[in-house]
Amino acid sequence: MTTKILIVDDESKNLGVLNNCLYQAGFEVLVAEDGEMALKLSNYNKPDLILLDIVMPDMDGFEVCRRLKQNEAIKNTPIIFLTAKTDIINKVKGLEMSAVDYITKPFQTEEVVARVEKHLTIANLRQQLEAKNAQLQDSVYHLESLANLGKTISETQDITQMMDKIMQVALAVFKCDRAWLLYPCDPNATSWCVPIETTMPEYPGANILNTNIPMQPAIAEIMQNALSKNGPIAFGPEHEHKVPYDIGEQFAVQSQLNQVIYPKIGKPWLFGIHQCSHARVWNENELKLFQEFGQQIGVSLGFSISVEELHRGQEYLSRKSYHNFIGASTPMQKIYQTIDNTSNSEASILISGETGTGKELCAEAIHKESNRADQPFIIFDCATVPNDLMESQLFGHVRGAFTNAIKDRQGAALRADGGTLFLDEIGEIPLNLQSTLLRFIQTKTFHQVGSDEVKQVDIRLICASNRNLSEEVKAGRFREDLYFRINHIEINLPTLRERESDILLLAKFFLFKFAKQEQKTFQSFSPKSEQILLDYKWPGNVRELRNIVHNLVILNKGKVITAEMLETKIDDKNTSPSIESNQPLELAENHVDVISDNHLRSFKEIEQDIIFTAIKFCEGNITQTAKLLGIGKATIFSKLKQYKLENKLL
């Protein structure tokens, strides 16, 4: 294509000279003798460069330049000013008007041609750079859009929520008016359904969401076309395919994109977007991005569900209970789903979470969901077994292995053979036994205490701890290799604070359970008492809620738990030290005397009093007592036995 040069000058001599030299240089030349003619020519014949005289009658070059720059089509066209004046002020003004150069009359034709070619080259390079920048921006937007889609898919395991969010992302990325998924994409089906749709408020659909619609010829034709092509199909006035009249009328569609998404099983789906506000021409970049959207949706979701399976999935993913768990909140739905996904794996599972969150219930649920459900589920509480007996109780011993070993005894590992071994509070296992446990986990073999015979078992291992084991590793209290061996999969149970919507559900469950158990008439909580339950922080989690409700049922009568009944228990709890506190235990009025009758008491007496008083202060909660005193649960149980304090606590 020939390059066009527009010359604007009121002197015919200058026009002739410039026209002749530029024509000979191979340019197509347009001439204008005044500003008005220059503006008209520019509208109909977009020049590639303009040579513009400054001093002209009626409209000077500066005004012509200003108006040319207001024209969107030619605002970036390079302008070179021509003038006989040489003062600096005019040159500065010209450059401020966004002119690219300034040629002083009388001029040399060689100079004019050289400067024209120079600025045309610069303009071409600028256009190429802008095109590359635009292409780069499209690529960045392309990648960001796909990354946003991937993030959206990973944020939830709820299939319905996931697809709904994907449609919202499609709506935003393609700047369209509607995004939808149709099922089944089968032109021979008797009906079809749109289970997922997101539409701009000003363009409502036909209110057919999740409704079976009889198959129409227009829909069948769209499906047939989509199935026959490996990629998206664009519909619109400027495209080969036109939007069927019935579809355009029913859904106010002027342009649309469709593509088929194939699930792993079952019939395909149809993914589409609509433009309702105007007739849109879909470019190649949009078609490519739309195709990749469909591919990522198909890969990530699998789309291995039918509409019926979708509804079943909705019910499945909104369970209010799961084995012995009670809870319908989103955090608990994720826990249920994680258990479903991991139950049949042989990988070791570490269950973490605060005291009272239900770690044992979680381990039991994993076992019951596994293919070992009909085999033993053995619980070994590492916190309640004295250190010197732990190896014997875990792996067993033979007769005569130590004093009082009067007969052979099977340990927890052997009793769990074929089933599941649950090591609760594994953080309490002493370092000297951790290496033995590591070898057992690696080989599934062990020696009973006092025996050289190698025993082998087939077990699924689940561990739990309310301690942060990674911090225990850093502190040197837990072996790093053992930590990684038991932590193939970690399930972190949410606190009751994180599942606030479950508080009333749990409270009512416990109320009905204990009312029946204690033969009481309680049926509900008053609105004020419900608010108290919701406002309380529950440092002891579900276990604390259970104990409070049980206590209320035992100590009160009536059909309704009132705020007055509950306030006493909650107030008492609020004055108790937090189990998360790092502050030393303050026993207030229940202080322990070091001196009695002017004599210094023995350490044994003081220690007995401290442990006894602390347990009473924590209302019998050994875990909380151990945390507040900064010692292990096993130590407390050992001291209770040593000082014969068990009966005093009953």
What is the predicted pLDDT for the residue at 159? Answer: 67
Cβ 496 vs Cβ 533: under 8 Å: no
Report the chain's terminal Cα–Cα distance, integer Å.
101
User: Would you say the CATH fold of 588-649 matches that of 4-126?
Assistant: no
Cβ 215 vs Cβ 192: under 8 Å: yes
Could you read off the pLDDT of 388-409 as tens digits, one per residue? 889 989 999 888 877 777 888 8
What is the predicted pLDDT for the residue at 582? Answer: 39
pLDDT tier for residue 199 given thresholds of 50, 70 and 90: confident
Phi and psi angles of residue 178, each rounded to the nearest 5 degrees, phi first? -155, 140
Q: Which amino acid is at 301?
A: L
Residues 166-195 as b or e (16 or more Cβ within 10 Å = b): bbebbbebbebbbbbbbbbbbbebeebbbb
Name which residue leads in pLDDT, 130 or 20: 20
Name which residue leads in pLDDT, 563 or 610: 563
Task: Please state the domain extents for the chain.
Answer: 4-126, 159-311, 322-492, 496-574, 588-649
8 SS3 class: strand
What is the predicted pLDDT for the residue at 136? Answer: 60
CATH number of 588-649: 1.10.10.60
pLDDT tier for residue 29 given thresholds of 50, 70 and 90: very high
Name which residue leads in pLDDT, 600 or 650: 600
Name which residue leads in pLDDT, 26 or 164: 26
| Percent of the chain surpassing pLDDT 90 | 42
Which one of 3.30.70.20, 1.10.3720.10, 1.10.260.30, 1.10.8.60 gives the CATH number of domain 496-574?
1.10.8.60
Q: Tell me the CATH class for 322-492.
A: alpha beta
What's the token pair of residue 248?
């355009």
Q: Which amino acid is at 584?
A: P
In 3D, which of 186, 632, 597 has the Cα closest to residue 387? 632
Q: For domain 159-311, which architecture applies? A: 2-Layer Sandwich (3.30)
Neighbours of 53 (CB within 10 A): 25
pLDDT surpasses 70 at 145:
no
Cβ 591 vs Cβ 603: under 8 Å: no
CA torsion, points 122, 127, 128, 129, in degrees to nearest 10? 90
Q: How far apart are CA 611 and CA 616, in angstroms?
A: 9
pLDDT tier for residue 139 given thresholds of 50, 70 and 90: low
- For tokens 């390059």, name the residue: 3
What is the predicted pLDDT for the residue at 316? Answer: 52
| Contacts (Cβ under 8 Å, ≥6 apart) of 622 | 615, 633, 636, 637
Could you read off the pLDDT of 491-531 as tens digits, one per residue? 999 999 999 989 999 999 999 999 999 999 998 999 999 99
Which one of 3.40.50.2300, 3.40.630.30, 3.90.320.10, 3.50.50.60 gives the CATH number of domain 4-126?
3.40.50.2300
Q: CA 296 → CA 148, 172, 400, 524, distances in Å?
A: 11, 17, 65, 49
Out of 17-21, 49-53, 75-79, 169-173, least confident range: 169-173
What is the predicted pLDDT for the residue at 576? Answer: 43
pLDDT tier for residue 305 given thresholds of 50, 70 and 90: very low
